Amino acid sequence: MTTSTDFLISRKDLNDAKFVETPLAVKPGQALLKVGHFAFTANNVTYGAFGDAMMYWNFFPAAEGWGRIPVWGFADVVESQADGVKVGERVYGYFPMSTHVVVEPARATPMGFFDGAAHRQKMAAVYNHYTRVAADPGYNKAREAQQALLRPLFTTSFLIDDFLADNDFFGARDVVLSSASSKTSLGLAFLLHQSRRGQVTVTGLTSKSNAGFVEKTGYYDRVVAYSAVPESNHDKPAVFVDMAGSGEVRMTVHKHWAGNLKYSCAVGATHWDHLGQAGELPGPKPQMFFAPDRVKKRNQDWGPGGLDKHLASAWATFNTSVDSWMTVVEGRGRADVERVYRDMVAGKAKPEEGHMLAL
């Protein structure tokens, strides 16, 4: 019997959090993973904000009314009663904010395995796969932090970029990103800036306090503070990619671009506490972007390994640029985990920092 320390969040109020101790027993067909360090970013706050709507709470069940926010990171197999999974293996994947988790390995291959637990089968398969780092050609032990912090978010960035290009940007020639300092926005801005996709420009919307940081990355053609949007120029038809999820920001953008807004893409909720919207929204109705749907399409279009090949090439290029703006900050123990979580929920985290945590 192993006791896991779990960080629980109220499903009704992201500000309400606590630690609990949970006894775990491994049964035949299961394996016990000891969670090492994991990334925590604004994207994880989105998981909590959309926990019920997008079933993020379902991955790692908790007591009634509570949930465990999923995180990307690394873990070691410390006990196994499952075929094809050995003690001592290190894996990369989706974990709870806990010290341990029990999985039910299924469809094991030399590259990894899926968690076959019944409660996870309704969710997208991409979240249920665990990669054996020994078989991952893109794995670099010295850069585990960059992989956990950025690769899942960059995958979303890559898929949005691919979706927009596949639709010729819906006739737009400017891509407007809210929460421009978020890591998903930075990845998308990098891809758009690199390719230009027929001279598409990139506009980043951010807070005044983060404007300097966003400009220094060099990924955006122009950076506009939220408060300055109503006075900013908009002489090109635009696509709005909304990472913030703020009803106020969305309304401001839709009103300001008016007839020049060709498509509105809803992705995240970094401004999770301002999700509400007052009044009828002018312009195109926001369409939710769900990355696993795009993964499914490209797997069908490009065949086995096709998406991985395209993504690996883009990731390698992006990965070489991140050290110029991101500093990895390691935290360990309950106090660090709770502090970083509360700072992220309150919007106080510094965009130039990437937080790796461990309980």
pLDDT tens-place string over residues 156-189: 999 999 999 999 999 999 999 999 999 999 999 9
Amino acid identity at 169: F
Burial state string for 158-185 with b = 16 or more CB within 10 A and e = fewer than 16: bbbbbbbeeeebeebbbbbbbbbbbbbb
Q: Which helix (H) or strand (E) holds 344?
A: helix 334-345
List all residues 6 or more positions away from 52 whose beta carbon is below 8 Å from its beta carbon: 11
pLDDT tens-place string over residues 6-38: 999 999 999 999 999 999 999 999 999 999 999
Residue 53 has a CB neighbour count (10 Å cut-off) of 9
**What is the 8-class DSSP label of residue 275?**
-
Q: Domain with 45 in it: what CATH number?
A: 3.90.180.10
**Confidence category of residue 279, pLDDT binned at 50, 70, 90:** low
Same domain for 240 and 334, yes or no, is: no
Residue 135 has a CB neighbour count (10 Å cut-off) of 12
**What is the 8-class DSSP label of residue 144?**
H
Q: Give the mean model confidence (pLDDT) for residues 325-350.
A: 95
Same domain for 163 and 117, yes or no, is: no
Same domain for 112 and 171, yes or no, is: no
Tell me what pLDDT residue 269 has: 56
Mean pLDDT of the chain: 91
Amino acid identity at 206: T
| Any domain includes 316 | no
| Any domain includes 261 | yes
Out of 292, 311, 334, pick the residue that ends a domain: 292
Q: Which helix (H) or strand (E) holds 176?
A: strand 174-177
- In the chain, pLDDT over 90 holds for what percent of residues? 73
Same domain for 73 and 124, yes or no, is: yes
Same domain for 214 and 287, yes or no, is: yes
pTM score, whole prediction? 0.82
CA 322 to chain centre: 16
Q: Give the mean model confidence (pLDDT) for residues 303-327.
A: 89
HSE-CB at 256 with a 13 A cutoff on CA atoms is 23
| Any domain includes 74 | yes
One-character DSSP codes across 15-81: T-EEEEEEEE---TT-EEEEEEEEEE-HHHHHHHHTTTTTTGGGSS--STTEE---EEEEEEEEEE-
Q: SS3 for 350? A: coil
Residue 82 has a CB neighbour count (10 Å cut-off) of 22
Same domain for 155 and 286, yes or no, is: yes
Q: Give the mean model confidence (pLDDT) for residues 306-333.
A: 91
Alpha-carbon gap, residue 317 to 152, rounded angstroms? 15
Q: Give the mean model confidence (pLDDT) for residues 39-61.
A: 89
pLDDT tens-place string over residues 217-275: 999 999 999 999 999 988 899 999 999 888 889 999 999 998 899 999 998 655 444 55
What tokens appear for 300 in the block? Answer: 């069908």
| Any domain includes 54 | yes
Same domain for 336 and 281, yes or no, is: no
Give the position of tokens 């940007």. 169
Tell me what pLDDT residue 277 has: 53
Same domain for 335 and 277, yes or no, is: no
Out of 272, 292, 312, pick the residue that ends a domain: 292
Same domain for 258 and 195, yes or no, is: yes
Structural domains in the chain (count): 2
| Any domain includes 56 | yes
Tell me what pLDDT residue 268 has: 65
Tell me what pLDDT residue 229 has: 93
| Any domain includes 115 | yes
Alpha-carbon gap, residue 286 to 26, rounded angstroms? 45
Q: Domain with 155 in it: what CATH number?
A: 3.40.50.720
CA 349 to chain centre: 16
Same domain for 72 and 129, yes or no, is: yes
Same domain for 354 and 261, yes or no, is: no
Tell me what pLDDT residue 270 has: 52
pLDDT tens-place string over residues 63-76: 999 999 999 999 99
Q: Which residue range forms the structural domain that includes residue 58?
A: 2-139+326-358
| Any domain includes 305 | no
Counts of helices then strands in the chain (DSSP H, E): 8, 18
Tell me what pLDDT residue 272 has: 43
Tell me what pLDDT residue 132 has: 95
| Any domain includes 43 | yes
pLDDT tens-place string over residues 85-144: 999 999 999 999 999 999 999 999 999 999 999 999 998 888 999 999 998 877 889 999
